[in-house]
Structure 1
Amino acid sequence: MSGNHPLRLLCAAVAAAGLVATSACAPSSQQDQASAAKQVSVLPAGLSLAGKPGAPAPKPLGQRASLKVGIPSKLELEAPALLAQTYGEFSKENLDVTFVTDTVPNLLTLLGQNKIDLVYAGAQALVFNALRHGVPIRWVSGVASAAPDSGVYMSTKYGTKAADFDPATLKGKNIGVNPGGLAAPSEYGLYELITKGGLKPSDVRMTPFSDPAAMVQAFNNGSLDGATLGPPFTASVKPGVAFQADGGYPDTMQIAGYFATTELLGAHRDAGVAFFRAVERTVNTHLSGDYHQDTEVMTKMAQQLGTTVETLRIAPSVPFDFNVPAQSVASLQKMYQSVPGTLQVDPPVKPEELIDLSLVIDAAQGK
């Protein structure tokens, strides 16, 4: 499932470079394929993407197919796909899956070049820019709800609990953030807190850390007033040093997941549905509830992620969730617009332009 089109290559390169492109970057064949794809941006009322162990049942493809899936690194959030490989769930679908590891910008470029079929990534501004630049990209699956202990942590110098914390206190404070700051979807909790405080991003000093462990160390020794943290790094915050001022992001939105182009949603749709049948079945069978207590699952996961069961158990089990609430599109764009030069989208992307849940819906329904 690969092939290069000169305009597609150009669009991917333009999107990755953050330059302006023309409508010529959307070949008529891709436009026709996009319009023909069965696009569903909101889950039908009453439909759940979760199911019982063993569901959805395998529905082997009539002819062996293969997919290349891009991942930036091996994280627990990618465990459903990685363990689907381990448990042989892809084989049950008559599907071969190869994982390609690279940076998110490079993976999205490869996706635009049709050299890979799916990419696991955060919904970066690059995704929105690529869509407007003519790359037929779609957000086809979420990955998880926000972990209960992820979010913005503040020094106990400024309070003891979220209910009593005044977000306006953030003005002038030094907050540790992930690389990219508010240009990264993982910082949505901080953006929400800044907004609640009636502040502008420029009112807050943000210090980026490429190493979360170093961020925790700086927070613990008092060099930072706050930090955006998630598991397992939240477990390293010293008792009494901090309190959780805000969650990572609300249930009404998603910040990451799998991205594909209309190629997978159209010509190779059966393989895309098979991929998500296997992934959903893996979650329903092995990764629901407090799966961190299942030694067999954790042993296999640790082997896949190159870590230990003990390290993984420092953090709570991940609440996997394949939905992408429509509000995600507007909320993330609003945050990116607060960072000059980040979002090059006009007019704003609408949920129905970017989100397409039809693959995970068909998979959940056993189609």
Structure 2
Amino acid sequence: MFPRFQRRPLWTLLLATGLALAAACAPSGNGATGSQAANAKQVPVLPADVSLSGKPGTPAPKPLATRASLKVGIPSKLELEAPALLAQTYGEFAKENIDVTFVTDTVPNLLTLLGQNKIDLAYAGAQALVFNALRHGVPLRWVSGVASSAPDSGVYLSTKYGKSAQDFDFSVLKGKNIGVNPGALAAPSEYGLYEAITKGKLSPGDVKMTPFTDIAAMAQALNNGSIDGATLGPPFTASLNPGIAFQATPGYPKTMQIAGYFATTDLLDAHRAAGTAFFRAMERTVNTYLSGDYHGNAEVMAKVAENLGTTTDLLKVAPSVSFDFNVPAQSVDSLQQMYRAVPNTLQYNDAVKPAELLDLSLVIDAAQGR
């Protein structure tokens, strides 16, 4: 891993932000100007003539002249992290002359480590914590997306209240008990529920949200009728009993992204070559092994299952992931709008603009073989 500089105690800001969010403290004023620092190559919007996908084997390796080491934080081993895990397995990082070490921890802890400059990248959802940290002076950047919303993911409601999204009156959600992921509307995975509440002209307080740390248990609760609905995605949607529920709304629209990789400006500036090499390997891995319906490739699925500590049969219950490294600018505005609907979730008044948080220059340079 690269040497770290002692120029700023950013970890204290990020840790304080995380603790404040967990304690649901009242909003504070805008933070330091560190969040405004931008590298000279910053690109907040993917140009219309640039594609982040390509043919197998592309972009070609461009090994660094000097071996570099990166530490990459991941909260748990999910199929969404397959590009990085398989890049390690298939030697794609080695082809770029970089060593990658994975660090597993919770998202708040990983973001704190990122602010401490103890890791170089972190895979995470774009939680309210990310926006608060940026406003408190931590120069985080959202440098890549991960995937488009799975077709089967979204808000599932009991068929007692409707049959399909086309004829469902979302105002029916008032007073209903909906199973959610921990964090509820402070977590990006709940954007579909926020959209459903908005369509029903309701406020978050009109709906009871019951958090589940065990998503399988949430699906079972919907099966047995102890909750009225749930935000679910594959493979858990496959465990719903036939006719018990319907998909009222998708997890999030194609015009936005809710997760991906985050970095500090150190990686984007002083160590940019290593960051670009990392994403060249990631994009090449997707183009070569994880494009289309890769669930039909027995060799690739065996490697994915081995990395995730599961079986190919369990993985194939869900459809292949549609990996996508782009982060549409609307993501920043839409997520803040959701977080703002929950009192004391965002700790600032002046909205974060897409150009402050997004920097797609690494994935663009990687796709173009730079």
Q: What does residue 130 of structure 1 align with? A: 133
Counterparts of 2:162 and 2:11, CA distance in 1: 51
Whether 2:64 is the aligned partner of 1:80: answer no
Q: How far did residue 158 of structure 1 move?
A: 1.0
Measure the CA separation in 2 of the matches of 1:95 and 1:347: 39
In structure 2, C-alpha distance between the alignment counterparts of 1:125 and 1:89, rounded to whole Å: 33
Report the counterpart of residue 295 of structure 1 in structure 2.
Answer: 298
**What is the Cα-based RMSD across aligned positions, in Å?**
1.4
The C-alpha deviation readout for 1:159-209, integer Å capped at 9, x for no partner, is: 111101111110011111001111110000000010011000000011110
Contact 1:299 1:309 in 2 (8 A): yes
How do 1:107-146 and structure 2 match up within 5 A? 107-146=110-149
Gaps of 5+ in 2: none
1:179 alignment partner, one of 151, 176, 182: 182
The answer to whether structure 1 residue 321 and structure 2 residue 317 are counterparts is no
Tell me the residue number matched to 2:59: 56
Structure 1 runs of 4+ with >3 Å offset: 19-26, 34-37
AA in 2 matched with 1:121:
A
Extract unaligned runs of 5+ from structure 1. none
Which residue number corresponds to residue 10 of structure 1? 12
Provide the rounded CA distance (Å) in 1 between the counterparts of 2:62 and 2:89: 18
Aligned to 1:359: 362
Distance (Å, rounded) in 2 between the aligned partners of 1:23 and 1:205: 33
Cα distance in structure 1, aligned partners of 2:239 and 2:39:
50
Per the TM alignment, residue 14 of structure 1 is displaced from its structure 2 partner at its CA by 1.9
Q: In the alignment, is the contact (CA less than 8 A) between 2:30 and 2:350 conserved in 1? A: no
Do the aligned residues in 2 keep the contact of 1:128 with 1:345 (CA within 8 Å)? Answer: no
Aligned-partner Cα distance in 1 for 2:53–2:96: 19
Alpha-carbon distance, 1:12 to partner = 2.1
SS where residue 129 of structure 1 aligns?
Answer: helix
| Amino acid aligned to 1:365 | Q
Shift of 1:340: 1.1
Structure 2 CA distance for aligned equivalents of residues 314 and 137 of structure 1: 36
Give distance in 1, aligned partners of 2:42 and 2:349.
22
- What secondary structure is seen at the aligned counterpart in 2 of 1:160? coil
Shift of 1:16: 1.9
Distance in 2, Cα, partners of 1:346 & 1:219:
37
User: Alpha-carbon deviation of 1:9?
Assistant: 2.7
The superposition leaves residues 239-284 of structure 1 with CA deviations (integer Å, 9 ceiling, x where unpaired) of: 0101100000001100000000000000000000000000000000
> CA separation in 1, counterparts of 2:163 and 2:204?
24
- Percent identical among aligned pairs is 74
Helix, strand or coil: the match of 1:318? coil
- The equivalent of 1:309 in structure 2 is 312
CA contact (8 A) 1:7 1:25 kept: no
Q: What is the CA-CA distance between 1:13 and the residue it aligns to?
A: 2.0
What is the TM-score when the length of structure 2 is the normalising length? 0.95
User: Bigger CA drift: 309-318 or 341-350?
Assistant: 341-350
CA–CA distance in 1 between the matches of 2:169 and 2:331?
A: 25
Q: Is 2:346 the partner of 1:343? A: yes
Report the CA distance between 1:23 and its aligned residue.
5.0
Residue from 67, 76, 97 that aligns with 2:70? 67
Number of equivalent positions: 362
Answer yes or no: is 1:105 the counterpart of 2:108. yes
**Distance between the aligned counterparts of 2:95 and 2:165, measured in 1?**
47
Give CA-to-partner distance per residue, 1:185-240, whole Å, 9 cap, x none. 00000000100110000000111100001001110001111110000000000001
